[in-house]
Amino acid sequence: MEAKDLLGILELEPVFRPVVKKAVEILKTYGPDIHDLVRSMEMGITEIKIDQVKKIEAAGFSRDDALLLVQDEWFAIARALRNTNSKNANKGA
């Protein structure tokens, strides 16, 4: 896409404003469903972490060490996702 293409799209903004406004109104009605989905994902992640801590403790590690190992793993996953996203964003630049 070239700059002139983007400018052409931006000039159409007044035409799209009502469509975007209506789409936002519709998406807001999904709030409770989205909340339930996110909540169930949070609970699933929490259950996974609890299971991991228990398994690490069963292997002979202290509770503190088990908690640190589990948290470190999740921070590493988050860091990897951030790095992947930033690399992908830089490819588009």
Residue 89 banded pLDDT, cuts 50, 70, 90: low
Q: Report how far residue 24's alpha carbon sits from residue 44's, in angstroms, rounded to the nearest whole number.
A: 29
pLDDT greater than 80 at residue 4: no
50 versus 75: which is more confidently predicted?
50
Residue 19: strand, helix, or coil: helix
pLDDT (tens digit, 9 = 90+) per residue, 39-73? 999 999 999 999 999 999 999 999 999 999 998 88
Q: Among all chains, which residue has been given the structure tokens 């209506």?
A: 22
Q: Amino acid identity, residue 3?
A: A
The pLDDT value given to residue 18: 86
Are the CB atoms for 69 and 61 separated by under 8 Å? yes
Q: Report how far residue 35's alpha carbon sits from residue 28's, in angstroms, rounded to the nearest whole number.
A: 11
- Sequence-separated (6 or more) residues with CB below 8 Å from residue 85: none
